[in-house]
Structure 1
Amino acid sequence: MSGVSLAVAPRSEPDTTTTAPGSKPQDKPLHRQQHQQPAVGGVMGSLRVIELQLVAFIMVFSVSGLVPLFDLIFPAFASAYLLALSRLAFPSHGPVSSSSREIFQGSRFFRFYVVAGTTIGLFLPLAYVLGGFARGDEHAVRSATPHLFLLSFQILTENVISGLSLFSPPVRALVPLLYTVRRIFVILDWMKDVWLNKTLPANAQFKDVAWFWFGRSLAVANFIYFSINLFGFLIPRFLPRAFERYFKERDELESKSVEDKRSAAANKLEPVADKKSD
């Protein structure tokens, strides 16, 4: 989840369906319309549908005392900081089209990478927490809940600001960057809990051993994925692309403003020249 809803947008394939004479364009086969919707777009659409439910679900954990105080107030500080940046440092250049809001469009491999991150970072930890509740494993629930809490707020923040022209590309790119940096430290605490503070009894059953190593493997997988995501994608590629687009849009607006001023000045001089010629 590295700015997933900001970085990846469903691609529209050219329509090669021919229509018979007298038929309406919307009378296309249903299977053709379904084929035009990419799989990743469906996943992202599902995330947009469940985001508020996920936040409400994690808020129940926070009320239960499963999320540390610093992680509870981190989204408020991050939102205030992003709002200040959008007003003071990187103001928006005005309304933009939906296509220009897409900061990064990746290849098919990148889309697979995003789906893998959604599975590793969201669905499996959520299953781990629910399994911990079912098994009465409070240690597992307490270890993984802060990560899920922050990730849910990251998804919510990304989806909210992606639809607002108030926020410029650099500000939108900083959302996954800020949350990922914080979550890496949270995941380190998660790894410490499951690797150092939790042990198995000598006569543990196979299902207990499997659950024990599932928690350990999941914590390590999240640490590896989001570390690669931060140092291999967000910092070297995603953030520079956002700044490049921002300054390109600013230069285009400035050049357009100069051209408009020149044309306005030329229009004012034309009547004066006509009067002199008369």
Structure 2
Amino acid sequence: MSGVSLAVAPRSEPDQTAAPPHQKQRARQEQAPAGGLMGSLRVIELQLVAFIMVFSASGLVPLLDLVFPAFTSAYLLALSRFAFPSRGSVSSGSQEIFQGSRLFRLYVVIGTTVGLFLPLAYVLGGFARGDEHAVRSATPHLFLLSFQILTENVISGFSLFSPPVRALVPMLYTVRRIFVILDWVNDVWLNKSLPANAHIKDTAWFWFGRGLAVANLVYFSINLFGFLIPRFLPRAFERYFRERESGEMYAKAAEDKRSATDTAIPATTTNKFHSQTADKKTD
């Protein structure tokens, strides 16, 4: 997943209606920092929109990567309409599909640092140093990751999108970004060389770019093949089909209850008629 959306995603909270007053007050105090995080998330979304606009206008993102978010968004809308329609029974407080441990969240924070913050610093440093090669190599990855985070955060707030559709967002973007990162690795390892009389700062910058490209390739490959495919996607489908099954059972129970009510009404009318007839005969 993107990292930012997981790190601040809303968690399912137990029902506090029957809790004592002191427990309700403690729950409100614990939920206050979460509101601050969600407010920070809105700021992050605005920053991502700014990054996307800058990257799109810079001419550093290939046409295929510019078109990919539009195609992905249209495909997700089609899936949510025809293949995996939402049941509309998921509350806004239980949108998180996967609730990991503290160790897993540390893994997510590391991925956010390696995948978003360090590449952004690398691109900004490339602008400052006049290293157009570094900027051009890392910008497509940053563009796609920014769109991925923005898409995840936007659709997580709408019940229109079912869990499988939301799980496919990081899947599709991560698959595409792995190919983009492979191009990044190829650029910094094969197409860029260090001058023989390079200074220490230039050498450190050169190897920082190489190490960052390899770190992104390793992390997101592990993320795709070790988490998204074997764990996250099955969890999303399991939740979706469980919700659909419970919805069908509820609809069937409501239909049976309505049928029983409709059957009971004529029976009551018939008993009342027989009772009135018996009374007349008695008279």
CA contact under 8 A between 1:90 and 1:170: conserved in structure 2?
yes
Rg comparison, structure with higher value: 2
CA contact under 8 A between 2:2 and 2:112: conserved in structure 1?
no
Query: How far apart are the structure 2 equivalents of 1:13 and 1:81?
Result: 32
In structure 2, the partner of 1:46 is 40
CA contact under 8 A between 2:11 and 2:95: conserved in structure 1?
no
Query: How far apart are the structure 1 equivalents of 2:221 and 2:39?
Result: 26
Query: 1:111/1:55 Cα in 2 relative to 1: closer, same or farther (>3 Å)?
Result: same
Query: How far apart are the structure 1 equivalents of 2:94 and 2:21?
Result: 30
In structure 1, the partner of 2:228 is 234
In structure 1, the partner of 2:128 is 134
Compute the displacement of 1:50 (Å). 1.9
Deviates more, 1:157-166 or 1:4-13: 4-13
In structure 2, the partner of 1:168 is 162
Query: 1:43/1:197 Cα in 2 relative to 1: closer, same or farther (>3 Å)?
Result: farther
Query: How far apart are the structure 2 equivalents of 1:18 and 1:87?
Result: 43
Q: Calculate the TM-score normalised by the size of structure 1.
A: 0.88
Compute the displacement of 1:53 (Å). 2.0
Compute the displacement of 1:160 (Å). 0.7
In structure 1, the partner of 2:276 is none
In structure 2, the partner of 1:5 is 5
1:244 aligns to 2:238 (yes or no): yes
Compute the displacement of 1:35 (Å). 9.7
Aligned pair partner of 1:68 in 62, 68, 83: 62
In structure 2, the partner of 1:37 is 33
Deviates more, 1:206-215 or 1:97-106: 97-106
CA contact under 8 A between 1:6 and 1:103: conserved in structure 2?
no
Q: Which has the higher helix share?
A: 2
Cα root mean square deviation, aligned: 2.7
Query: How far apart are the structure 2 equivalents of 1:232 and 1:250?
Result: 27
1:221 aligns to 2:215 (yes or no): yes
Compute the displacement of 1:107 (Å). 0.4
Query: 1:68/1:212 Cα in 2 relative to 1: closer, same or farther (>3 Å)?
Result: same
Compute the displacement of 1:64 (Å). 1.9
Q: State the number of aligned residues.
A: 267
CA contact under 8 A between 2:126 and 2:135: conserved in structure 1?
yes
* Alignment-mate amino acid for residue 33 of structure 2: Q
In structure 1, the partner of 2:50 is 56
In structure 2, the partner of 1:100 is 94
Compute the displacement of 1:49 (Å). 1.5
Aligned pair partner of 1:268 in 262, 271, 283: 262
Compute the displacement of 1:60 (Å). 1.6
Alignment of 1:81-120 (within 5 A): 81-120=75-114
Alignment of 1:172-187 (within 5 A): 172-187=166-181
In structure 2, the partner of 1:22 is none
CA contact under 8 A between 1:59 and 1:149: conserved in structure 2?
no
* Structure 2 gaps, min length 5: 273-283
* Alignment-mate amino acid for residue 9 of structure 1: A
Identity of aligned residues (%): 77
Query: How far apart are the structure 1 equivalents of 2:7 and 2:261?
Result: 44
CA contact under 8 A between 2:80 and 2:165: conserved in structure 1?
yes
* Alignment-mate amino acid for residue 128 of structure 1: Y
Compute the displacement of 1:269 (Å). 1.3
Q: Calculate the TM-score normalised by the size of structure 2.
A: 0.86
Query: How far apart are the structure 2 equivalents of 1:166 and 1:36?
Result: 27
1:2-22 Cα offsets, whole Å, 9 max, x none, are 47526863558999x996xxx
1:94-134 Cα offsets, whole Å, 9 max, x none, are 15212331111000001101110110000000000000000
Query: How far apart are the structure 1 equivalents of 2:126 and 2:255?
Result: 66
* Alignment-mate amino acid for residue 227 of structure 1: S
Query: 1:266/1:6 Cα in 2 relative to 1: closer, same or farther (>3 Å)?
Result: farther
